[in-house]
Structure 1
Amino acid sequence: MGCRVVVLISGSGSNLQALIDSCQNGESPASICAVISNRADAYGLTRAKNAGIPTAVLDHKQYAGREAFDDALMQVIDSHQPDLVVLAGFMRILTAGFVRHYQGRLLNIHPSLLPRHKGLHTHQRALDEGDPEHGCSVHFVSEELDGGPVVVQAVLRVAADDTAQSLAERVHHLEHQIYPLAVRWFAEGRLRLTTDGAMLDERRLANCGEQIRPA
């Protein structure tokens, strides 16, 4: 059945929709076998159901702590036997045990050109620091927050009249391009994580990964 993917979400799921479209229109050999959310009201669950994808909800508030929640989450994920786990707006800081369990098959997308601007409020911080360029990064997840080897980045020029909101909208559009691309690379067997870092077509990627500069 190709590469089985589980997607974790917490919100509207626009990146999930981009992944669904990529899988269903034949662009990618990946197959999304489940979508899991920690919020029952996440609109991404509706997107998944509309696409005929099984869903599950695990409310983190119902668990004694982070470790208990992550243990339960791992059980649900593993019941689907995924080859890849994709974080698509999953607003939880994952425990080290969770990250280690999925090492080499756990991807995240972050709205900055990592390693710049880890954490929150990336667009305003890019403006405040006068960055000439901004964008988004897909990376393998490590135990360091927003760390892990970068796979691919989409880069845009910051315009003189950009605001945090306009930057967010422009970057979001780029996320929908590079996340399905990275998942496709993994599903095709071209992308993998080694002790030397991220490898694409047996070539070690630079610290910034592949860089794409849309016209």
Structure 2
Amino acid sequence: MARPLALLVAVSAHLAWTAQVPLANGGVAFYDPGDHGGSMLDNAGDGLGEPLNVIISGLSSPEVLTYDGLINYARAIDFSTECFNIHLGNPMTADLGDGRGPTNQTVELRQDYDNAGVGTCLESLVGGNHFRVWQQNGSLANSGAMFLAVSKEEPATENHDIIPDGYNLGRDALVASAVGNRTRHGVKYQTTAVDVTGLMPAGSTGINHGIAVDGIVSVLTVRIAE
């Protein structure tokens, strides 16, 4: 049986945490994909992957853990859908160890520079943060958590390659934008974060572009305020 990794209450935005603690109410933040042959790297091709370095906890408000709910939350933290909803390239896959095997990303979102309408077009030109999303909801590990592959990329003139240290920097920028109170279309979000170690190794082995990661996964709990 997969080990539930439950999110602890944080008194600050970031706390290192490696414990595995079941919750009395039976809910879990997420399951370790490795328990059923999954991975904390997506499939970027050639045996390489990008780190799933942010998780939106399954303990978040249920409304957040849907496609529409995620989009609204993303816009509250300055991300939006791709420029004119045009996506170049094939969808990426990831195996979250939930029994479904490799699955296509749910959506890809880009920094919108405070303009949900055309801001992602600017990101496509000048670069910035972006992330892909997969949901852990198969029969073997049905946490409902959203796993995000977050990175900061170069401008179009550099073929959108990841900047040096772009996985760590992208993750940190997203978390900084998310933590605290945010509002979008009348929905008020309260987000806390903790840092988890032990899900993925530090270093560059198996990482796309050979860019090293620090091995930290940031777990966000997003609650909709009444």
Whether these two folds match at TM > 0.5 is no
Structure with greater contact order relative to length (CA < 8 Å, sep ≥ 6): 2
Which protein is richer in helix relative to its size?
1
Which bracket does the TM-score occupy, shorter chain normalised?
A: under 0.3
TM-score (ref. length: structure 2): 0.27
TM-score (ref. length: structure 1): 0.28
